[in-house]
Each structure stands twice: as C-alpha cells, then as structure tokens.
Amino acid sequence: MAAPLGLHLEFGGGAELLFDGVKNHHVTLPGQSDPWDMKQLLTWIRGNMLKERPELFMQGDTVRPGILVLINDADWELMGELEYQLQDQDNVVFISTLHGG
C-alpha cells in the first residue's frame, strides 16, 4: 500500500466560493494500493471538500469547461489530464475563467 499523499490545492477566479471562500487547502489523501490520479482526486474533492453547487465545479468525472487546471504550474492538458498520477507535495490549482458581467 502506498503512503498517504500530501497535496496543496488552490482555488481561484471565483471557484473558491464553492469551498467556503477558502483559496488554499493543504490536504492529505489516504494511502491506497493504486497511485492517486487526477480523476480520483476530483472524486475525493467532490465528496470531501465541495460545500455547495458541485455542478459549478464538475461535469461528470471532470472539471467543467471554463475551469483551468494547473499541476505544478503547468496546464494539466500537458500532464495527461485525468490520468496524471499525483506525487507527494504536488501543487494543483483550479481557476474559474467564467465570470458574470
């Protein structure tokens, strides 16, 4: 079994409002037999952190269109998106690019 995984999660551009207005979170994911990937992280966030209106953050098993995801300051599209295997102390940023006017 893999050791627990420590991550820094950051929500911005309005996405933090879905997480009680808190932008920065340090979380520890429990150890499990398979490595944690982004798909599992999003499911964990939905079940453990998301306080309201999950449809504004997620669509199916992924983030909604309009939410930019960075893993260690790189676009997650370059990292494999949902299949990216998380590493201890990774920095994952979610930024909403959709704003009302």
Among candidate residues 94, 87, 96, the one with its CA nearest the CA of residue 14: 96
Alpha carbon 18 to its chain's center: 12
- Given pLDDT bands bounded at 50, 70 and 90, which one contains residue 87? very high
The predicted structure's pLDDT at residue 100: 60
In a domain, 9, yes or no: yes
The predicted structure's pLDDT at residue 2: 72
Mean pLDDT on 16-33: 95
In a domain, 92, yes or no: yes
What's the structural domain count of the chain?
1
Q: What is the DSSP letter of 40?
A: H
- The pTM (predicted TM-score) of the whole model is 0.93
Structural domain of residue 11, as residue ranges?
Answer: 5-96
Tens digits of residue pLDDT in 44-80: 999 999 978 899 999 999 999 999 999 999 999 999 9
The predicted structure's pLDDT at residue 52: 80
In a domain, 101, yes or no: no
**End-to-end Cα, the chain, rounded Å:** 48
Any idea what the CATH number is for the domain that residue 25 is in? Answer: 3.10.20.30
In a domain, 25, yes or no: yes
